[in-house]
Structure 1
Amino acid sequence: MRRVPPTVLRVLVCGALLLLASCGWGAPASGQGERQPAAPMGVTAAAGSATSVHVMWNLAAEDPKITRYEVYRGTTKIKEVPGSEHMVDITKLEPSTAYVFTVRARNAAGVPGPLSKRVRATTPAAVAADRTPPTRPGSPHGKAVGSRAAQLSWAKSADARGVASYDIYQGTSKIHSVGGAQTATVVTGLRPGTAYSFTVRARDAADNLSPPSATVRVTTAAGSDDGRGTAPTDFRATTHRSEGAYYIDLRWTAPEADGVITEYQVHLDGRPATSLVWGAGPPRGTSTYSFYVGREADEAHRVRIRAKLPDGTWGGFSAERSVTTGRR
């Protein structure tokens, strides 16, 4: 199949669609430069204590692969983590201070992507000479939510000056953090048919950490990693000709998810062809997308699509459709 420069892509999307710089046809040819990673999605920031903030984001599925994420406070890069991680604790901050954070990805070629949206967090006031940790969170409960998530809840901890945050651990690894007023969360990105052990620890403004709660054991529902229940449905593909060129026109219904889906990836003939992201107000229900495939008639193609779920994991692929340029 003929290689198509990115400049000839034409996007016809229902709603306000932003075509990322990462969109394109597989890996670029030598000398054409490397594709820029997309801006990280789902970035959040929450104060963990008077001197720390927990920053999280969605992992990106990119080609070339993301090798590291850079975290910025204002315009200053303050942390760098491997591409397999999607959270970090920013420490040594000032109490009672508002901070702004952004995250960007860098791929294996060293190419940086754009900065994510700005997120804000304000640290609580400092507590003098507080060396007493909160009590352990009580009555933890958990249940699987399908094959990829677990819902956790617990009773609030007691602390003389108040709990600033709760940290959730999977085994010995901290995987999530929520505000001190929150006593429930949903852990996503899990594997089907897998047993997990979770504990919760409370943290106060002086950064004292409580003993861990009792262990909550949850086994996700059996299934497969292809996530069939998260695939776009009613997927259709046709072609049309315009100004001597052929385009593939896609139409699908967004999968149901606990949140808004803003990103999709299109596979053409078994390989990623292009990614698309709605900048704001993504359509719910039916979506459409059209992209250039060349000027030759009677060329057969296979196409399918998948969504990036709100937890940052890729959902299942839609049914694969076959189309031939010049034919309806």
Structure 2
Amino acid sequence: MLCGLALAVSCGCSAGGGNGERPPGAPAGVTARAGSATSVHVMWNAVTADPPVGVYEVYRGTAKVADVPGTAHMLDVVRLAPATSYVFTVRARDGRGRLGPPSRRVRATTAAASVADTSAPAQPGRVTGRPAKSRAVQLSWSASTDDRKVVSYDVYQGGARIHSVGGGRTATLITGLRPGTAYTFTVRARDAADHLSPAGPAVRVSTPAGAGGTAGTAPSGFRATAHRAADGAYYLDLSWVAPPVDGVVTEYGIRLDGSTVTSLVWGGTPPRGRAAYRFCPGREKGVTHRVRLRARLPDGTWGAYSAERTVTTGV
């Protein structure tokens, strides 16, 4: 029986420096769509830079509203006013702290608030999908209905939301997928009051085989040690580096002695660099455990397991 959980983060920090290298360029492909009466979904394309982008800064007008990890390319800007127009830009900051120029300005208007809206939209129907090259899938669905208005559609892969589009659209291109991989997608409609519909019919699509199928999806540099705490319990100390995938990893599954014992979900921004986690498998000395972990990838699938480590308590 697990006797406690603890979380620690060790973030790699890069010192600033001026060696004549250029800062990252302006993010391209920036879009902004109202998600509800009080939120806007902002998305952009990844910026290629050397050293890589560490943080994307998202601005509403001239005010910065969030720092987004360099592996993520979308953000829900919340706590906005209904029926109000906002302008957004995105800037990239590299690992040396150099800030690139702003993207083009994009405008979005939140939906009008509906005080009496207590009903969720109906589920979208007739969801279809087809592969579009080895790393993308084209999805389409029939429009949902609502007693007021559908403001946006959220696309899920498994239980993870990976994309959003405006309520006037019934098709989208999902990118950043892995070649030779089977995916299951569902679509949910959202109204101005932030009510979500039931998920539409699931559609299963397989991307064609190609370079980069499952390679590189396992956490690297996995380490495991044991220590005894002041209360007499033994803890396993784990650390690893997130897999280098397109997007941000927010969840890990930890497997102990052949069984999945816990799912670790970051409550805030996931760490950059090496991450660490600590949990207690029991209080008995001299017990040998086998442990490994895997990441839930940004496309909603589980990646490959890390190398397995063997740890003995009290040794």
TM-score range, shorter chain: 0.5 to 0.7
Give the Cα separation in 2 of the matches to 1:155 and 1:115: 36
2:47 to 43, 54, 60: 60
Give the Cα separation in 2 of the matches to 1:31 and 1:84: 24
Give the unaligned 5+ runs of structure 2.
Answer: 1-16, 214-315
1:221 to 208, 214, 230: 208
Give the Cα separation in 1 of the matches to 2:158 and 2:25: 31
**Which residue matches 1:176?**
163
Give the Cα separation in 2 of the matches to 1:188 and 1:32: 35
* Number of equivalent positions: 197
Is residue 120 of structure 2 the alignment partner of residue 133 of structure 1?
A: yes
Cα drift, residue 31 of structure 1: 5.3
**Which residue matches 1:71?**
58
Give the Cα separation in 1 of the matches to 2:105 and 2:98: 21
* 1:76-135 Cα distance to aligned partner (Å, 9 max, x none): 000111001000111111111110000001111111111111000011211013221111
Cα drift, residue 33 of structure 1: 4.7
Is residue 121 of structure 2 the alignment partner of residue 151 of structure 1?
A: no
**Which residue matches 1:211?**
198
One-letter amino acid of the structure 2 residue matched with residue 212 of structure 1: A
Give the unaligned 5+ runs of structure 1.
Answer: 1-29, 227-328
**Which residue matches 2:298?**
none
Give the Cα separation in 1 of the matches to 2:211 and 2:18: 40
Give the Cα separation in 2 of the matches to 1:139 and 1:32: 55
Give the Cα separation in 1 of the matches to 2:131 and 2:24: 33
**Which residue matches 1:94?**
81
Instruction: Tell me if structure 1 keeps the 8 A contact 2:156–2:162.
Output: yes
RMSD across aligned C-alpha pairs, in angstroms?
Answer: 1.5
**Which residue matches 1:322?**
none
Give the Cα separation in 2 of the matches to 1:79 and 1:102: 11
Instruction: Tell me if structure 2 keeps the 8 A contact 1:34–1:111.
Output: no
**Which residue matches 1:196?**
183
> Secondary structure of 2:165's match?
strand
One-letter amino acid of the structure 1 residue matched with residue 146 of structure 2: D
TM-score scaled by length of structure 1? 0.58
TM-score scaled by length of structure 2? 0.60
One-letter amino acid of the structure 2 residue matched with residue 134 of structure 1: P
> Secondary structure of 1:49's match?
coil
Cα drift, residue 189 of structure 1: 2.2
**Which residue matches 2:105?**
118
**Which residue matches 1:38?**
25
% identical aligned pairs: 62
Is residue 88 of structure 2 the alignment partner of residue 83 of structure 1?
A: no
Give the Cα separation in 2 of the matches to 1:172 and 1:117: 32
Give the Cα separation in 2 of the matches to 1:173 and 1:108: 28
Instruction: Tell me if structure 1 keeps the 8 A contact 2:57–2:92.
Output: yes
Give the Cα separation in 1 of the matches to 2:159 and 2:94: 29
